[in-house]
Each structure stands twice: as C-alpha cells, then as structure tokens.
Amino acid sequence: MWYWLHRFSSPAYFYRFAGKATPWLAAITGLLLLAGLYGGLVLAPADYQQGDSYRIIFIHVPSAWMSLFIYVVMAAAGGIGLIWHIKLAEVVAACSAPIGASFTFIALATGSLWGKPMWGTWWVWDARLTSELILLFLYFGVIALQSAGEDKRTASRASAILALVGMINIPIIHFSVEWWNTLHQGATVSKMGAPSIHTSMLVPLLIMALACKFYYATSLLMRARAELLEREHNSNWIRDALKNHG
Amino acid sequence: MAVLSRDLLLALRRRSEVVNPLLFFVIVVTLFPLAISPSQAVLQTLAPGIIWVAALLSTLLSLERMFRSDFEDGSLEQLLLSPCPPTILVLAKVLAHWLVSGLPLLLIAPLLGVFLALPTEAMPTLLITLALGTPVLSMVGAIGVALTVGLRRGGALLSLLVLPLYLPVLIFAANAVAAAADGLIVTGQLYFLGGLLLLSCSLAPLAAAAALKISIH
C-alpha cells in the first residue's frame, strides 16, 4: 500500500491517472445527479407544511455538508503537504478551496431563497447561517492567501497553515455562535427542527449528497491536472505527456 | 527577554506608532454616537459592542508592526537563525506587541465607557474582558502577520485572514460586558475567554513560528 501511495503521489503518475479517471467520475456524477433530481423533484411527494419549496433541500443540504467536508479535506491535504512536502497534497489543498467556497456559497444562497417564503425573511442571524457565513470568510482568506504570493509553493504552504488554524477555530466559532444566538433568541432553531424525514425524501437527498461528492472528485481532478501543468511546466514528464498527446 | 526589551525600546523611540492606534480606537468609538444617536439608552446597549469592535480594529492596525520592520531590515532572519527557539521568540514579540498596543486600550477603555454611558457595574467586566481578550487578539494576529509579512500588499489581506478568527473573542467579550451591564453573572463568559487565552498562548506561537519560517524562505 505504501508503494502504491508513493507512486500515486508522484505528479506524473497522478496526471495520467486523473486524466483517465475524470470521464468516469464525470459520468457517475451525471447519472447520480439525474437520479437524485428526478427522485427529488418528481418522485418525492410535496411536504404537507412547506409545499414544494422544501425541495430546495436536495441541493441545499448536500452543499452544506460538502462545505464542511471540503474544508476538512483541504486542511488535511495542507497538513500532509506541510509535513511530508508532498507536492500533490499542496495541489489538492489549493484546488479544493474554490470548490469548497462555491459549495458554501450555494448553501447560503439556497438557504436564503428558502428562508424568504418560509421564515418571511432573506436572512436571519441564526447560529447555523452565521457559522456558514464565517466558513465562507475562512475560505476567502485561504483563497486570497493562495493567490497573493508570487511563489506558488510558498503560498500553498502558508495557506495550509491558515487552513489548519481555521480547522481548530471552526468548532470554537461554531459553538460560540450557537451560544451567542441562544442568548439572544431561539425561535429559528425550533423552526429548523423538522419532523424526521420520510424515506421518499431521504433517498434522493442521499443520492444528491453522493452526486456532490463525485462532482467534487471530478472537479478536483480536473483542477489538479491544470494546476500541475502550471506548476510543473518545466519538468520532463510534462514534455513527455504533451508529446504523447500529440 | 532581550527581544522583548529591544521591541519595547523601539516602540518607545517611535511613539507615534504606539499612539496612533490608540487615537484610532478613541476616534472610532466617538464616531458611533455621532452616526447613530446621542441618546443614553441607545448608547448603553451598544457600548460593549462598539468598544470591542473598535478594540479589534485598532489591534488590527498595529499588528503589522510586530514583524514587518524586522522583516524588512533582515533582523527577523537573524533572530530566527539564533539558537533561541522560534516559539519563544514569537512569544516575546507578541508580549511586546500586547504591552504596547493592548495595555493602553485597557487603560483608556473606562473613559470610553463613560462616553458611551456604560453603567459603572459593567466597568470591571469591561476591563477583565479586555485584559483576557486583547492578548488573544495579539496571539492570533501574530499568525496572520507571520503569514503575510513576506507579501508586498499584506495589509488588506491580513484583515481578511484574521478577523474571522477574532469572532469568538468578540462574541464572548461583548456579551459578558452587556450581561454585566444588565446585572447578570458573567463567570461563564470570562472562563471561556480565559480558555481561549490559554489555547492561543499554547498553539498560536507554534503556528506563527511555522508561518514565519515559510515567509522568510
């Protein structure tokens, strides 16, 4: 397994592997998305309270999950890059940040669209909304630091430290926001506490979550390939890879 | 220790750099009554938040000084090459920064509390939160400065990196002062701030030292 890991982390091998895997992952993403959307928008019944507008959860909830998941992946990859100086881990961390920020933004935007008919307002300073917004700021910080340096490797390592510091802070921020909110008002929390979800809604939700995971993988591999080409443009394996390509 | 006394001496020689963030703190606080309302009741509810937001901003203003000039004249590199462990070095730098920029805030805050009609019962809490909270701001800020010191336009970036990390301090400190103004018990908030202080003292120097090594490289 170590042998495999070692080989996989070499940019040349990864570049070839990612090139082969991307179409497959993209196809799986497409299929899952179609299935999830069909299940969510057509098969699942309307909610007895919220009508059809609840259907936004099929994109909202998976994006919210992804926003945290990608941050963890980014921080872990950044940490690996810092400790073992693995170039590929730095690339993965760098490429994850924009995807994670997009998911966070989608979660916020769809939540706000849903909040208007349901809560009667676009924005509430609810604990979850606030911590999601702060997560978006943390992503922006990582992206900004990444693009600020002239040397890409130094910038990656700096933003890896920032991501790790953010990782320690996420639970602290989350709990302090929650605590702050409960001291102010608690109404929105009980509005969030929906009755346990029915299978006909749960299955499409899980399929959509899986689709988002595969979308992330696809997009990460594509971005990582482009990033590798840019970072390693002087190395031999790129010359060979491009030659083979024609 | 030598670093600490050297930084303090440097700060003494350039007094304007010490005084400016402090004046900024006072001016920002005076903007709020002018912008919102001079009514005592309104100011009283806003006072903890205003003072704390102003403290955050003025800390941000003085953060760059922590490593910037040493980085530019190359002495930071020499300090890191010295046998002294970099975490201790960072700790000394942060302590010097806090003594120069955090402590004055603490001294002038009661005056601003009076400006904003903060009840006298809340004054001790305001001072305790500042005493516990501003070192955390310096600590966490050190990581941000260490990360951006090698960049040419680090200023705006620094605030983007550091402000989200300041939120827990802001929440608990402002909340404690507001609760104390209402005559409530605030030990919970203060314990939490103390916890944040211990956590940042133990972890932030490590992160800042690692960040400095990357920036210098």
> Is B35 in contact with B114 (CB distance < 8 Å)?
no
**Is this structure's pTM higher than 0.95?**
no
Write the secondary structure of A27-40 as one string of H (helix), E (strand) and C (coil).
HHHHHHHHHHHHHH
Domain carrying residue B134: 2-216
**Residues B13-63 pLDDT 10s:** 777 778 888 999 999 999 999 998 888 888 888 899 999 999 999 999 888
A166: Cβ–Cβ under 8 A, 6 or more apart, which residues? A71, A75, A138, A141, A142, B164, B165
pLDDT above 70: percentage of residues in chain A: 91
Q: Where are the domains of chain A?
A: 20-188+196-233
The total number of structural domains that make up chain B: 1
Cα distances (Å, whole numbers) of residue A173 to A72, A77, B76: 15, 22, 32
The answer to whether residues B212 and B90 touch, using CB atoms and an 8 Å cutoff, is yes
Block residue for tokens 């919102």: B36
B175–A183 C-beta distance less than 8 A: yes
Q: Among B157, B165, B196, whose Cβ lies nearest the Cβ of A145?
A: B157
Q: How much is the pLDDT for A188?
A: 42
Q: Do A173 and B167 touch (CB under 8 A)?
A: yes
Share of chain A above pLDDT 90, in %: 36
- Which residues in chain A are contacts of B159 at CB distance < 8 A? none
Residues 6+ apart with CB under 8 A from B131: B106
> Residue A139 has which token pair?
């992503």
pLDDT of residue A192: 47
The answer to whether B184 contacts chain A (CB < 8 Å) is no
ipTM > 0.90 (yes/no): no
A vs B, Cβ pairs < 8 A, gives 70
Please give the mean pLDDT across all residues of chain B: 88
Torsional class of A88: left (φ above 0), alpha (ψ -120 to 50), beta (otherwise): alpha
Of A137, A154, A161, nearest to B164 by CB-CB distance is: A137
Contact assignment for A180 to B171 by CB distance below 8 Å: yes
- For B159-193, the pLDDT digits (tens) are 899 999 999 899 899 989 988 988 888 888 899 99
Of B132, B114, B113, B121, give the one whose Cα is nearest residue B189.
B132
Asked whether the beta carbons of B209 and A149 are under 8 A apart, the reply is no
Q: Is the CB of A164 less than 8 angstroms away from the CB of B207?
A: yes
